[in-house]
Amino acid sequence: MRRRVVITGLGLVTPIGQDSKSFWQGLMSGKSGAGPITRFDPTHYPTRIAAEIKDFRPEDHMDKKEVKRMDLFAQFGMAAARQAIRHASLSVTHELGERMGVMVGTGSGGLNLIQREHGRVLQEDPRRLSPYLASAMLANMASGEIAIATGARGPSAAVVTACATGSSCIGEAMRMIQYGTADIMLAGGTEAPITPLGLAAFSRIRALSRQNEDPRRASRPFDRSRDGFVAGEGAGVIVLEELEHARKRGVPILAELIGYGASTDAYHITSPLPDGGGAVQAMKLALQDAQLTAADIDYINAHGTGTPLNDRIEVMAVKRVFGQRVDQIPISSIKSMTGHLLGAAGAVEMIASVLALQEGWIPPTINWEEADEGCTLDFVPNHPRRQSTRIIMSNSFGFGGHNASLIVKKWEE
């Protein structure tokens, strides 16, 4: 028998809030984290906006030695992980550490250090290269650093599935607990892609919005005038725990994770299958895993990036799965507020889903004004909605054709 998996802790760092309370307030107020890029001069870029995190102080979450050896993506991940541990009232003993693992991934890895140190190699003496680069740039290093800091000696890895990374890590961590490999997992995603190289790369494939004059309205999932996503940064980490283990600790249970589905389009490196087949498969597998039908889902936290093609195909996939009932299910994209956090997006959106279950509100899709052909669903436009939900599906779809769907349930004794 598979063991039940519950969520006992939440931690995040986002452009609209650096803890779960401020993040939720940001969602409920329709706050946009987008603005002009301040980290470097974007004058010569077609896109000059992003959803940056302001006033992040890594020293508030780790000592200076740790800060020095980590890229920004790992610093975000560490901050979110330590928040989640505190929220779960988790004290890691030597014995517990052997049954605790970490699964925190990233889509891009250490872009900040790579760019900075590459410039140093070209312009200065290569012998002045940072000794931390070789380790700090690696995609697994957020998981590695978190494991070192917490004493988690169970399974540690970083599943990398581009924009589906956060959801994939949570789903695979759930499996670790279900089948007895671990009792506790820190799971999620982290990303720090707002660099000259990162911005140029996504601009080159025309994935980014170019609505530079009004950045707060640039992220427009499912709206007719959408023209790409707004790059964001941050991290989300949750504490997953085997049910009886959590009960013995006597901690509050926030929600139960009950379903996970994963698939691959096997079609194109950036474009989804034209009929949405890969997304359909992931959603159906998640429903099957949770032993539910489409009629059981109360709300869908959409991938909803704001790119013309992906939004249209995502809507097509949702319609294929939910059939005639699709018009009765609210579906919203918090990327309209946070921007697209890439490898961290799915984890932050899972946290939003847990908070929606607890608070009895559905976050909105801001900046939605006009329906596009083929994108006609209840997108909870512009204002949060008071609505009690019991079961939520959260979807993530990434470059390379990676699809992940998670289902979370309101905790009921």
Q: Is the pLDDT of residue 124 over 90?
A: no
Average confidence (pLDDT) over 151-176: 98
- Give burial (CB, 10 Å; 0-12/13-18/19+) of 93: exposed
Q: Which residues pair with 386 in a beta bridge?
A: 361
The CATH class of the 260-410 domain is alpha beta
Residue 16's nearest CA partner among 3, 28, 7 is 28
Distance spanning both ends of the chain, measured CA to CA: 19
Gap between the Cα atoms of 249 and 89, Å rounded = 9
**Other beta carbons less than 10 A from residue 366's beta carbon:** 27
Q: Where are the alpha helices (DSSP H) in 210-276?
A: 243-249
| Mean per-residue pLDDT of the chain | 96
Domain map (residue ranges) of the chain: 5-249, 260-410
Residue 203's nearest CA partner among 229, 237, 182 is 229
The pLDDT-based confidence of 377 (bands split at 50, 70, 90) is: very high
Gap between the Cα atoms of 292 and 121, Å rounded = 55
**Other beta carbons less than 10 A from residue 39's beta carbon:** 16
Q: Is the pLDDT of residue 413 over 90?
A: no
pTM of the model: 0.97
Domain 260-410 in the same topology as domain 5-249: yes
pLDDT of residue 123: 86
Gap between the Cα atoms of 379 and 339, Å rounded = 17
Residue 249's nearest CA partner among 82, 99, 91, 103 is 91
Q: Which helix (H) or strand (E) holds 13?
A: strand 5-13
Residue 283's nearest CA partner among 265, 308, 262 is 262
| Residue 53 DSSP label | P
Q: Which residues pair with 35 in a beta bridge?
A: 50
The pLDDT-based confidence of 393 (bands split at 50, 70, 90) is: very high
C-alpha distances in Å from residue 23, one per residue of 15, 83, 128, 338, 395? 9, 13, 40, 9, 20
Q: Does the annotation count 163 as an active-site position? A: yes
C-alpha distances in Å from residue 271, one per residue of 103, 229, 408? 27, 14, 28
Rg (CA), the chain: 20
SS3 call for 185: strand
Encoded amino acid at 100, one letter: M
Encoded amino acid at 342, one letter: L
Residue pLDDT, tens place only, 315-346: 999 999 999 999 999 999 999 999 999 999 99
The pLDDT-based confidence of 366 (bands split at 50, 70, 90) is: very high
pLDDT of residue 126: 82
Q: Is the pLDDT of residue 133 over 90?
A: yes
Average confidence (pLDDT) over 62-83: 96
The full length of the chain comes to: 413
Which residue among the candidates 80, 163, 239, 321 is catalytic per the annotation?
Answer: 163
Residue 75's nearest CA partner among 231, 226, 237, 200 is 237
Residue pLDDT, tens place only, 11-65: 999 999 999 999 999 999 999 999 999 999 999 999 999 999 999 999 999 999 9
The pLDDT-based confidence of 284 (bands split at 50, 70, 90) is: very high
Gap between the Cα atoms of 351 and 347, Å rounded = 6
pLDDT of residue 373: 86
Q: Is the pLDDT of residue 396 over 90?
A: yes
Query: At 168, phi and psi to the nearest 5?
Result: -60, -45
Gap between the Cα atoms of 348 and 191, Å rounded = 11
pLDDT of residue 74: 98
Q: Is the pLDDT of residue 358 over 90?
A: yes
CATH topology of domain 5-249: Peroxisomal Thiolase; Chain A, domain 1 (3.40.47)
Cβ neighbors of 122 (< 8 A, separation 6 or more) are none
Gap between the Cα atoms of 344 and 108, Å rounded = 10
- Give burial (CB, 10 Å; 0-12/13-18/19+) of 305: buried
